[in-house]
Structure 1
Amino acid sequence: MTLISFVVPVYGVQGYLRECLDSILNQSFTDLEVIAIDDCSPDSSGEILAEYAAHDARLRVITLDQNEGQGPARNRGVAEATGRYVWFLDSDDWLADGAVRAVADRLRETDAEVLIVDHARVYWDNLVDPSVIGPRFHEAPTVFALRDWPTAIDILHVPWNKVIRRDLLDRLNFKFRSGWYEDVPFTYGLLMATERITLLDRICVYYRQRRAGAATRTAGDGHFAIFPNWAQVFDTFDDSRPGAEQLRKLLFRRMIWHFLIVRGNDERMPPELRGRFFAEMTRHYRRYLPPGGYPVPGGSEGLKHRLVADGRNGMFQALRLGFRVAETGRKVARAVAGRGIRTARSTVRLAREAVFRSYYRLQLRLPMDQSLAVYAAYWYRGYACNPAAIYDKARELSPGVRGVFVVRRDRVGTIPPGVDHVVAGSLRYYRTLARAKWLINNVNWPNNVVKRPGSVHVMTHHGTPLKVMGLDQQAYPGGVQDDDFAGQMRRADRWDYSITANTFTTQMWERAYPCRYETLETGYPRNDQLATATAEDVARIRAKLGLAPEDRVVLYAPTHREHHPGYHPPFEPTELLDAIGPNGRLLMRSHYFHDRAHAPGTARLADRARDVSAYPSVEELYLAADVLVTDYSSVMFDYAILDRPIVVYAPDWQAYRLVRGVYFDVTTEPPGAVVTTFPDLLDLFRTGAVDNDAAAKARAQFRRKFCALADGRSAERVVRKVFLGESG
C-alpha cells in the first residue's frame, strides 16, 4: 500500500501549479501518489496536469465537468486515494525539500493518526513569515490527545498542515462543505476525534500569500460562511468527552479570534457588509458562550472581545480608526527621521516640473475623451511592436477612435506619415495622457501616470519570456536592475488587460505579475504580418534591403544582458560569412536598449554584412532572413512563426541561467540547433546542420508550444475586445 496520498484540488492556479507538483514529485521519498482534481479550472491548469500525468504515473487526474469548489473537490480526491495516509495540499502552495521523508519517518516512529506539520507564509515580495505557534511545537508530548495539549487548538485550522490516517477519515465519514472556511469543522472535528496526534517541528509547507486571487483577499459576502462552519463545531461538540469543558472554552476563544481576523481585514469585508458581519459575531458570541465564561485575552484584544459581546459596533469601529491613526503617525515619524538631505537641483528644472505636474493634475479633472487612445512602445522609442499593430487595426475596425502615439523627441523622424503623435514631456503629452480613455503600451507607463476611473489600460508586452520577469526576479538578485518590486506591482495594478502570445506566457505572467487584470490570450498583434506574409511581400522587403533573391540571409540578434553590461558573445562576422558561403549575407541587430549604439562587431563588418540596428521594423528583418541566430532573445519565439531555421548560440548559458534566471532550458527545448562556442557555430553552417532533421524536429515542437495563436488575426481579436467590447 502506498504510504501517502496527496489530494490536490486545482482551480485557477496555472501560474503556481508547476511549482506545487514539482515540490511533491521531486521529493527524495517516492512512496506516494498524487490525486489532482481539476475543478473545471478556467485556465490552462488542466493542460499542465495532463502534461505531468503523461510523465509520472504517480499523478492521477480527476476532471470535473463543473466547478464544485475546493471542499467537494477534496471529497472526490479522498474517494480515489489508496494511501495509508492522506495529505491535502492546496495547489498554489508547495512543499519544502525533504518534507515527505521527514513526515514518513515521524509516522513510522509514532503510528499517529494525525500528524501536524509546521509551515511558513511566503508573501509576494518574498518575505517569509514563520507560523505563530511553530516555536511551541517542541513543548508538545510525542503523541497526545487534544485535551492533553490543548495549545494545538491555536495551530492554523487548515487541512494542508495535517497528514491523516485514512481509516480515521473513513471512521469519521467527514465531508467538506462547499464555500469558504470549510476547513474549520474539519480541523476541530478531526482533532477531537483522535487519541493519537503528533507534531513535526519542521517547516514542511510554504503557504503562498497571493497578492490577488485568493479568498483571503477577495471582498464579499462569501466570508459569512465562517458562521455556519463554526456553528457546526459547537453544534456537534461532544460534552461527554474527557476534558470537554476546557476544550469548549478554548475553542470559543479561538472562534472569536477568527471572527475578528476576518472583520479586521478590509480586503475581505467591504464597508456595506461590516455592520451585518459584526451583528453575526455578537449573535454567535451569545449563542455559544460557555457556561462560566472563557479565558478572555488581555489588552486591546480583550477589549475587542468585550465589544463583540456587548454588540457595540460603533465603538468597535472607532477603536479600529484610532489604532490606524496612531500607526499612521508612527510611520510618518519614521519617514521624517529617515529622510536624507536631497541633492540640490536647479531652480529652473524644479519650476518646470512643478508647472507640468500642475498642468497634468488640471487635465485629470477635465472630462475624459471617450474617443481618444494613446499608444507607446519601448519607452517612447517610436512606432513599433504590438501597439503599432493595434493602432493600425483600430483605424480599420474602430475608426471612431482617434489614436495618438507618444514618441521621444530624437525619434520623431521614425513616425510613419499620417500617424498622429506627441513628443514625450511636452504639454500636449500630459494633456493626451490625462484625457485619453485608452492607454496602450508594451511597457509600463511612468510612475506618475494616473489611472483614471473608467480608463482602460492595455499592457501588450513585447515578447514571450525566456528570462524571468517581475516578482520571479527576486530569486535572481544578481540580474535585477529594478529591485523596487512593490513599484513594479503598483504599475501592473493599472492594467485592465494583459495580452499574451501563448499559454506559456499567460502562466508566467500570472506568477510574475499577480494583479487583477484580465488576460487576453490572443497572440501578439505584431506577428500578424509574419503569419500572413506572401512570397511577394518577402521579395519586396528583400529588395528594399538590397538583398538578391539568391542571397542566403542570416539575421544575428543577441539579447541584452542586464547583469553583464557591455558584454557581447564572441562573434566574428567575416568568419561566419565564410562558413555561410559565397552567397551569404549577414544582418546584425542590437537589442533596442542600445538604440543609440551599434550592433556588436560592426567595427569589423565584412562587405556582405550590415548593421540593421536602426532599421524601424524588426518584423521586416524576420521576413527577409533565411536563418536566425540568437541567444536568449524573445525574437526566437516570433521568428519561429515563419518555420525557418533558428540557431541558439549560447556561449554563456550556464552563467546566464544562474545569474539572470530563466523559465525553461532553451538548450534542451530549443527552436532548432544549439551551440555554445563560435567554432561550433561555424561548423553548423559548414556542415548544413543548421537545418538537419534534428533541428527541424526541435523547431516543430517549439512552434507547437509557442506559435499556435499566430494566425494573422491577433490584432483583430484585441481591437474587438478592447475597443468594440465584443466577447469571445
Structure 2
Amino acid sequence: MPRFSIIVPAYKVQAYLGQCIDSVLTQSYEDFELIGVDDRSPDGCGRIFDEAAARDPRVTVLHLPENVGLGRARNAGLEVATGDYLLFLDSDDTLTPGALRAVADRLAECDDPEILVYDYARSYWNHKVRRSRDAELFSRPGPQVFPVDERPELLGLLMVVWNKAYRRDFVEQQGLRFPPGYYEDTPWTYPAMLAAARIALLDRVCVHYRQRRQGNILGTSSRKHFDVFDQYDRVFAFLDARPELERWRPVVYGRMLHHLHTVVSRPDRVPADARPEYFRRAARHCRRHRPAGYRPAAGPEAARLRLLAGGRRRAHAVLRALEWVRRTAPVALRRLRHALGRPLLGAYQRLQQRLPVRRDLAVFAAYWNRGPSCNPAAIHAKLRELAPHIETVWVVDRRRRGEVPPGIRFVHPGSRRHRAAMARARYFVNNVNFPDSAVKRPGTVHLQTHHGTPVKSMGLDLQPYPAARMDFDRLLDRVDRWDYSLSSNRFSTVVWEGAYPAGYTTLEYGYPRNDVFHTATAQDVLDARAELGIPDGAVVLLYAPTHRDYRSTYRPRLDLPALMQALGPGHVLLTRMHYFHDRHDTTHPDIAAGGIIDVSGHPSVERLCLASDALITDYSSVMFDYANLDRPIVLYADDWEVYQEARGVYLDVLSGRPGETPGAVARDQQQLISVLTGGAWRDDAATALRAAFRERFCAFDDGRAAERVVRRVFLGETEPLPFVPLADRTPAPDPATALDQRGTVPPPATPAQGSGRLAGVLSSG
C-alpha cells in the first residue's frame, strides 16, 4: 500500500499535462501511486497518461467512457486509490520539487492527522510566481494538530481540494464524494474541514497553481456558474445532518455570501442577460440559508453583500460604479498632474543647472534606486564620520521608502527635490549608472563603485553574446561621466578598463562593502546569527546563486528540502535569490521547509556572510567578497556550458586551478551532497584553493577601503592609506570560534545597537 494516492483528472489540457505528471514522477519521495483519469478528453491527454504508465509502474490510467466533469472524474480515481493519503492535483498544475517529502515528513511529525493543509503559489503565464495571499496563516504560532475550532481562520483560505492531503480512511468514514457541476470543491472541503478532529499545517508551497492567460474554465462566461447555488445547498444539507456543527452555520453563510458575490462580480463569468436571474436566485438562496440575526462584517464589501442578498441588482450596479469612480479619480488626477507637471519640473531642473554647484552636497544611489546598500552605503557611512560637513541624499524608489534606515535623507526619482539635487550636487556615487537624464556639469565628481568582481562578461565585452540587450552607444555616454572607477583587485581593473573604456581614474582601493569582514567582532557574528534565530552550534550554509540571463524568472536550481534531508539535523540553509528577482514581484516557493530560511529580503548580504559557516554559490561575485572571511566556499554549477554561451565569462571558476577556483566544485545535486557530507567542502585541497583565490582577489580588501575612498574623492588626499598585508589580517571569527570566545567578549548588544554597528554595509548581493 503506497503512502500517497495522487489523483489527476484531465480534460483538454495536453499542453500542460506532461509538466504536471513529470512534477510528480520526479519527486525525491517515491512512495506513491499516480492515478491519471482521462475524462474522455478529445485531445492527447489519454495518450500522455498511457506513455507515462508505460515508463513508470507507479502510474495507473483510467479511460472514462464519457466525459463526466472534474468532480466525478476525481470520484473515479477515488474508487481505485489504495494509498494512506489522498492528494488531488489538477492537470494543469504542478507539485514543487521536494513537496511530497515535505508532506510525508510533516504527516509523520504530526502522527497522521486527518487533513494536512499546505500552501500554494500562483504561477502566471508570464513566468511570474506569487505565493498565496494567506501565506502568513501557516506560520502563526499555535498547536501542532487541532480541530478547526482552534483555527477558524482556515475557513477563509481558498476552499479547494488540491492544497490538502486527506487520510483515506477519514474520507471513507465521512462518505466524501464530489458532486457534478462547477465549484465541485465547495461541498467537499467545507464538510471535510468541519468534520476533521485533527488538522495540521505545512508552511511550504507544495503546488504551483497555473494562471492561464486564457482558457480557464471558471473564467468562461456561462450559465454553468449557477451551479454555485446547488453546491452550497449541499454544504448546508451537510450541516442540517450534523446538529453538533450548527455553530458553523453563520461562518459558512458568510463565506457563501462572499463566494456568490465573487462569481457575479467577475465580468467573465455570469452572462449579461443572466445577471437579473442570478440576483433573484441569490436573494432566494440567502433567505433560505440566512442564520437568524446574521449581519455581514463591517467593511467596504458589506454594502455590496447586503445588496446581493437582497437581490437589488440595479442598486448593486450603481454602488459598483461609484466605487469605480472613487478608485479611478485619484489615478486620473495623478496622471493629469504628471502630464502638466513634467514639463514644469524639466524647466525647474534646467533653471537649477544654471545655479552654482553645491560643493557640500553628495548624491548616492545603489542598484537602480533600491536604497542604501553595497559599496555606496559603506562609503556614505564613512563620509558622515570623516566629513560631516558634506550633506548627503540618497535616491530611493518610492516603493522602497519604508526600507530606508532612520536618519538617512532621501528623494524619490523624478521629484522636484531629486531634480534639484541632481542639478546642484558636486558628488555622485553609484554602483550602477545614473540615468541618461543626469547631466555631467563642470566641477562635479562621479564615482562608479561597481558591485562585484566580474565572472561574467560586462559592458562592451557583452556585444557578441545573446545576453546583450543594451544600447552600447548610450552606455558609453554614461561611462564618459565617470571620474573614478573603484576596483576591488587588479583583475577587476583590467576588466573594467577594457569593458568601459573612458578617461576616468581607477582607484585600486578594495571594496568598502567588504570592510566589515575585517572590522566585525565575535559578538557581531553571534548577533547576526541570533537575529536569524539560528541555534548555537548549527552549521549554517549560505546559498546565493546569481542571475541567469537566459531565464526570466528565478527558481532554485537545487531541491532544497532534499538537500536538507541529506545533511540531517544541525544544519541551517540560508537561501538568497539575486536582487534582479524583486521580492515584491516574485516568490521562490520551494523555500519553506525545516532548516531552510529565505533571506532574500534581508538588507545585508554581508551580515548573512558573517552568520554563515560556508558559502554555496555558482558564478556570483559574492564568492570574491566571501573569500575575505577565509571560510569554505563550494561552487554548485549545473549549467556552466549554457551560462558560458549565453553570457560569456572571464574566469573558468570550475577549472580547479589555484587562483581561479575558490573551493570544492559540484556539477549536480548528488555531487553537492557528497561534497557537503563527505567533508570535501573544507578539506586540505579546498583550503589550498581558497588561499590562492584570496591572494589573487582580496589583495586590497583590508578593512579600510571606505576610508581610502573618502579621503581621495571627498577630502582630496592623493596618497592612499597603506594596505595591510594579507598575512597580517585577521578576518571576523567564524561562528564556532566566536562561540568559543563568547565569555571573553562584551555582553550582546541590543538589536538596535547590533544593527547600527553594521548599518553602513547594507547590500543586496
TM (norm. structure 2) is 0.49
Matches within 5 A, 1:481-492: 481-482=469-470, 484-492=471-479
Deviation at 1:381, TM superposition (A): 0.3
Q: Which residue of 1 aligns with 2:358?
A: 369
CA 1:599–1:688: 2 relative to 1, 3 Å = farther
**Cα distance in 2 for residues equivalent to 1:501 and 1:347:** 47
Q: Does the aligned pair in 1 maintain the 2:554–2:588 contact within 8 Å? A: no
1:648 equivalenced with 2:635 (yes/no): yes
Q: Does the aligned pair in 2 maintain the 1:375–1:387 contact within 8 Å? A: yes
Q: State the AA in 1 paired with 2:513.
A: R
Q: Which residue of 2 aligns with 1:709?
A: 700
Deviates more, 1:352-361 or 1:627-636: 352-361
Q: Which residue of 1 aligns with 2:535?
A: 548
**Cα distance in 2 for residues equivalent to 1:391 and 1:574:** 39
Q: Does the aligned pair in 1 maintain the 2:591–2:598 contact within 8 Å? A: no
**Cα distance in 2 for residues equivalent to 1:568 and 1:667:** 22
Secondary structure of 2:616's counterpart equals strand
**Cα distance in 1 for residues equivalent to 2:603 and 2:395:** 16
Q: State the AA in 2 paired with 1:713.
A: R
Q: State the AA in 2 paired with 1:523.
A: G
Q: State the AA in 2 paired with 1:442.
A: N
Q: Which residue of 1 aligns with 2:92?
A: none
1:687 equivalenced with 2:678 (yes/no): yes
Q: Unmatched 5+ residue regions in structure 2?
A: 1-334, 720-765
**Cα distance in 2 for residues equivalent to 1:377 and 1:579:** 38
Matches within 5 A, 1:297-336: none
| Matching residue within 471, 476, 479 for 2:467 | 479
Q: Which residue of 2 aligns with 1:574?
A: 561
Deviation at 1:594, TM superposition (A): 1.2
CA 1:379–1:601: 2 relative to 1, 3 Å = closer
CA 1:431–1:601: 2 relative to 1, 3 Å = closer
1:393 equivalenced with 2:391 (yes/no): no
Q: Deviations over 1:435-465 (max 9, x none)?
A: 1110101100000110110000000111110
Q: Which residue of 2 aligns with 1:355?
A: 344
CA 1:533–1:583: 2 relative to 1, 3 Å = same
**Cα distance in 2 for residues equivalent to 1:580 and 1:509:** 40
Q: Does the aligned pair in 2 maintain the 1:393–1:719 contact within 8 Å? A: yes
Q: Which residue of 1 aligns with 2:124?
A: none
Q: Deviations over 1:281-317 (max 9, x none)?
A: xxxxxxxxxxxxxxxxxxxxxxxxxxxxxxxxxxxxx
**Cα distance in 2 for residues equivalent to 1:643 and 1:580:** 23
CA 1:719–1:393: 2 relative to 1, 3 Å = same
Matches within 5 A, 1:196-211: none
Q: Which of 1 and 2 has higher RCO (CA within 8 Å, sep 6+)?
A: 2
Q: Deviations over 1:187-230 (max 9, x none)?
A: xxxxxxxxxxxxxxxxxxxxxxxxxxxxxxxxxxxxxxxxxxxx
Q: Does the aligned pair in 2 maintain the 1:408–1:423 contact within 8 Å? A: yes
Deviation at 1:608, TM superposition (A): 1.2
Deviation at 1:580, TM superposition (A): 2.6
Aligned residues: 382
Deviation at 1:392, TM superposition (A): 0.6
Deviation at 1:567, TM superposition (A): 5.2
RMSD over aligned CA atoms reads 1.7
**Cα distance in 1 for residues equivalent to 2:689 and 2:556:** 23
Q: State the AA in 2 paired with 1:644.
A: R
1:467 equivalenced with 2:456 (yes/no): yes
**Cα distance in 2 for residues equivalent to 1:600 and 1:353:** 35
Q: Which residue of 2 aligns with 1:590?
A: 577
CA 1:378–1:562: 2 relative to 1, 3 Å = same
CA 1:604–1:707: 2 relative to 1, 3 Å = closer
CA 1:700–1:606: 2 relative to 1, 3 Å = same
Q: Unmatched 5+ residue regions in structure 1?
A: 1-345
**Cα distance in 1 for residues equivalent to 2:642 and 2:421:** 44
Secondary structure of 2:515's counterpart equals helix
Matches within 5 A, 1:716-727: 716-727=707-718
Q: State the AA in 2 paired with 1:547.
A: I
Deviation at 1:475, TM superposition (A): 2.1
Deviation at 1:664, TM superposition (A): 1.2
**Cα distance in 2 for residues equivalent to 1:598 and 1:703:** 36
Secondary structure of 1:479's counterpart equals coil
Q: Does the aligned pair in 2 maintain the 1:573–1:605 contact within 8 Å? A: no
Q: Does the aligned pair in 2 maintain the 1:598–1:611 contact within 8 Å? A: no
1:408 equivalenced with 2:397 (yes/no): yes
Secondary structure of 1:644's counterpart equals coil
**Cα distance in 1 for residues equivalent to 2:384 and 2:554:** 41
Secondary structure of 1:603's counterpart equals coil
Deviation at 1:577, TM superposition (A): 1.4
**Cα distance in 1 for residues equivalent to 2:586 and 2:610:** 19
Matches within 5 A, 1:141-290: none
TM (norm. structure 1) is 0.51
CA 1:685–1:650: 2 relative to 1, 3 Å = same
**Cα distance in 1 for residues equivalent to 2:718 and 2:618:** 38
**Cα distance in 2 for residues equivalent to 1:659 and 1:618:** 27
Deviates more, 1:348-357 or 1:680-689: 348-357
Q: Deviations over 1:634-692 (max 9, x none)?
A: 11111111011111111000111122100010101211111111111111111111111
**Cα distance in 2 for residues equivalent to 1:589 and 1:570:** 12
Secondary structure of 1:539's counterpart equals helix
CA 1:532–1:690: 2 relative to 1, 3 Å = same
Q: State the AA in 2 paired with 1:367.
A: P
Deviation at 1:544, TM superposition (A): 1.2
Q: Which residue of 2 aligns with 1:560?
A: 547
